[in-house]
Structure 1
Amino acid sequence: MAGIPAKRTEKLQLMLDDDELAAIDDWRFENRLPTRAAAMRELIRLGLTAHVGETYAERRTADFRIVAPDA
C-alpha cells in the first residue's frame, strides 16, 4: 500500500567505541532526531546518497572509523 512504511524486520549489530557513539549522539541532538536509531538510519541514507569516489576493496574493517583515533 502506498504511504505505509515497510515493517522493519532485520536487526543489525554494530560495535562502536565511546568516541564514535558520542559523535553519533552529538549529531543526533544537533539535528533534533527523535532516537539514536533514527539518527543511524538518516546517516546511512546520507552516506548511501553521497558520491564519494573511493574504492574500498583494499581496506580492512578497522579502517572504517567514524572519528579519527587521535581525535
Structure 2
Amino acid sequence: MTAANREERLQIMLEADELRAVDDFRYKYRLPSRAAAVRELLKRGLAGTPTGTADEGSRSQDFGVLGISNGSRFKDPGGQGSAD
C-alpha cells in the first residue's frame, strides 16, 4: 500500500466533549492518530444516508459533532425540520 499524497490541511475547532468523542472512537477502533480517526469518521459520514441541506442563514457554529452545540439548523430533504 502506498502512502497517501495529502496536500490540503483542514483545521476545525472542537469543544472538549467533541474531542473526547473523537478520541473515544480512535481508541475503540485502535486507530493510530486523531487524524486517522477523523478521516474514518468523514468516510463513514460521506457514505451514509444524506440528511438534507443547511437552513438559509446557518453559521458554522450552528453545527456540532455531538448534535448538542447551538442546535444545528439542518433541514431534511422533505423540509420537515431539523435532522440530527
Residue of structure 1 equivalent to 2:62: 63
- Indicate whether 1:7 and 2:5 are aligned: yes
Unaligned runs of 5+ in 1: none
Count of residues paired in the alignment: 67
Residue of structure 2 equivalent to 1:44: 42
Q: Deviation digits for residues 12-57 of structure 1, max 9, x if unmatched?
A: 1111111110010001111111111000000001111111332214
Unaligned runs of 5+ in 2: 70-84
CA RMSD of aligned residues (A): 1.6
Residue of structure 2 equivalent to 1:28: 26
Higher relative contact order (CA 8 A, sep 6+): 1
Q: Normalising by structure 1, what TM-score?
A: 0.79
Identity value in percent: 46
Moved over 4 A (4+): none
Distance 2:51 2:42 in 1: 17
Distance 2:7 2:50 in 1: 29
Distance 1:15 1:25 in 2: 14
Residue of structure 1 equivalent to 2:75: none
- Whichever structure has more strand as a proportion of its residues is 2
| AA of the residue aligned to 2:65 | I
Q: Normalising by structure 2, what TM-score?
A: 0.68
